[in-house]
Amino acid sequence: MKMISKISKIVLALTLVGSSVFAQSIADAKKAIDAEQFQKAKSMLKNLTVTQATKDENFFYLGWVYILQEYPDSAKTIFQKGIAVNPKSALNYAGLGAAAFLDKDRNTATTNFNQAVALAGKDSKPYLYVGRAYLLNDVDGKVPAADANAAIAVLTKGKTVNPKDAEILVALGDALRTQSKNTEALSNYQAALDLDPKLAHAKVATGVIWKYANNFESSETEFKAALAIDPNYGPAYREWAETDVRWAFSDPKMASAKIKEATEQYKKYLSLTDLSIESRLRYADFLLLSGDFKTLQTEAQSLSGAANSNLKVYRYLGYAGYENKDYPAGLAAINTWITKADPKRIIPRDYVYLGRLQIASKQDSLGIASLRKAIAIDTTQVDVYPEIAKSLYGQKKYLEAAEAYNVFTKKGRGVKLLDHFYEGISYYFAYDDKKPGADSIIAKADSAFSYVNQKSPTTADAYLYRARVNELKDKDRNNIVGYAKPFYEKYIEVTNAKGGTPTDKVKKELAEAYVYLATYAEFKEKDMAKATENYNKAKENDPANKQVIAFFARKGGTAKGK
């Protein structure tokens, strides 16, 4: 992580690239966009909208840069200027649809997409950008199926309009890739390269497929091939860096080397971009991805003080504040983000971190509400249920805690045996024989501990708590059935098998188990010798046990034979 930290110093030391003398052509502007040199592209396109003010495509590509930078309002203004220049500008209607799509206004987006296609005629580019717009909600390589299918449908039509549009083929491959249709995606990427062997984008896209398949060596081969085509193609270095981070998390033995390599690749990416606020925000995304929250906090603090700062830096400050245990700063930042940002830009994870920060700040009720809000927005956030449960358990709201654990153990990812164990404990403490549903709670607790026993037969505590739960079933103390007996016996067996000197806590628990067996022998089996034997074992572990003291007082002695 030290290497990552060095980038921050490099970034801060460099000044933003100002306007220079750039080649003033759409082709060069598009090349800059593809290379993620957004400031350079904007400078060229702003100039073109003045020097070639009657060309609607100049306005479209300028607006598209704003789309890629997630400024839909600015983009919309530019697209409307393009339509003012040419009321039949299919590209600018595609742009308006994209802006509405980012704003989550699906009806307006669809209306404008349809208008773009209706005006497209034999031009495949409007189809291309409608398709790309549907893919804007990419999260870790995935897009909602409905959006991806809409993209595939419109891009397929664009391919029919112009089968030799290599950009259409790459975009179609991207859409297919988001749905794990990798064979079809690769076919389209290769078709694009057949049309244009110098299309570095297609090579990078192929490498991304291998990244998500965890075939990291093949990914590297494709990124190197893209850089052989264009050594200054920044996105290849960015994807390579992100692939190295994924590799590091997938293979702990490679983690150190791959994080270092990722840092070097990202340094190269930054050197090839214009180091705009947006480029530095991408760097912040990389730091978030790689888990370097200390550097993320430093970089976000720097960004928050920069001119024309993006509110998004407060999201990073919130996340980093939590991970770095700087809870007051994190809570203030995430509240700033959630209250001041456009509500359409708030994502479920923002509420997850808000909830975590609130709980860490002893605002448990607010925190639980925030975590539940994240789940309500996105049901895939089910993995925050253990955090909800832990907070509720700490407040002694045992039944609510148990129910939260129960949802997680049924629907969560990465469920551990400990989650089942705490589900059982929560139900156990929630038991109240005076309330309706008490028997159901016993059954749920028993089921949770049973699962732990099945998966880990040497986990002694699960037998102990299962015994305690089953002891609750014996409601008639004068005529016990002995539901708990086999579980106390198993607890003793597993604990003694571990050898060594037990802790004071374990000794007390062993005494509890022996006392139960002694009581069962005395009152159920009428076997006083067996009862005495078990009471003696209980006494060896915990002489201060009240039932042990009572037994020997009742029997008038303390000798082992009595």
Please report which confidence band the pLDDT of residue 16 belongs to, taking 50, 70 and 90 as the band edges: very low
Position 486 scores a pLDDT of 97
Structure tokens at 82: 């393009």
pLDDT in tens, 19-75: 333 346 999 999 999 999 998 999 999 999 999 999 999 999 999 999 998 899 999
Report, as an integer, the average pLDDT of 403-422: 94
Please give the pLDDT value at position 440.
95
Residue 240 has pLDDT above 60, yes or no: yes
- pLDDT score at 24: 66
Under a CB-based contact definition with an 8 Å cutoff, are residues 502 and 510 in contact? yes
* In the predicted structure, residue 238 carries a pLDDT above the cut 70: yes
Q: Specify the DSSP element, H or E, that contains 353.
A: helix 348-360
Q: How confident is the model at residue 9 (pLDDT cuts 50, 70, 90)?
A: very low
Highest mean pLDDT among 103-117, 265-279, 468-482: 103-117
Q: pLDDT (tens digit, 9 = 90+) per residue, 437-454? A: 999 999 999 999 999 999
The region that residue 67 occupies, defined by phi over 0 for left and psi between -120 and 50 for alpha, beta otherwise, is alpha
Q: What is the pLDDT of residue 428?
A: 96
CA distances in angstroms from 277 to 15, 46, 171, 274, 388, listed in the order given: 11, 18, 27, 9, 36
Q: What is the largest CA-CA distance in the chain?
A: 109
Q: Where are the domains of the chain?
A: 2-8+23-291, 500-562
Dist CA 405 CA 399 (whole Å): 10
- Read off the pLDDT of each residue in 516-521 and give the average, rounded to a whole number: 94
pLDDT average, residue stretch 350-371: 96
Q: How many residues does the structure list for the chain?
A: 562
Residue 8 pLDDT exceeds 50:
no
- Chain mean pLDDT for the chain: 91
Looking at residue 119, what is its pLDDT? 97
pLDDT for residue 480: 83
506 pLDDT higher than 90:
yes
pTM of the entire predicted model: 0.74
Q: Mean per-residue pLDDT for 466-487?
A: 89
Summarize the confidence of residues 478-497 as an average pLDDT.
93
> What average pLDDT does the segment 5-29 reach?
52
Task: Output the CATH code of domain 2-8+23-291.
Answer: 1.25.40.10
Given a cut of 50, whether residue 416 has pLDDT beyond it is: yes
Residue 557: pLDDT band with limits 50, 70, 90: low
Would you say residue 97 has pLDDT above 90? yes
* pLDDT band at residue 252 using 50, 70 and 90 as cut-offs: confident
Residue-wise pLDDT for 154-190, tens only, equals 999 999 999 999 999 999 999 999 999 999 999 999 9
Q: How many CA atoms lie within 13 A of 127 on its CB side?
A: 26
Query: Which contacts qualify for 39-42: CB closer than 8 Å, 24 or more apart?
Result: 39/274, 39/276, 39/278, 39/279, 40/274, 41/65
pLDDT (tens digit per residue) in 78-88: 999 999 999 99
- 18: pLDDT strictly greater than 80: no
Q: What does the pLDDT read at residue 251?
A: 87
At residue 5, the pLDDT reads 47
CB 170 within 8 A of CB 153: no
Q: Is 9 exposed, middle or buried (0-12, 13-18, 19+ CB in 10 A)?
A: exposed
* Among the listed residues 112, 92, 88, 109, the one whose alpha carbon sits nearest the alpha carbon of residue 100: 109
pLDDT of residue 308: 67
For residue 544, what pLDDT is reported? 94
Tell me the pLDDT band of 476, cut-offs 50, 70 and 90. Answer: confident
Q: How far apart are CA 117 and CA 426, in angstroms?
A: 58
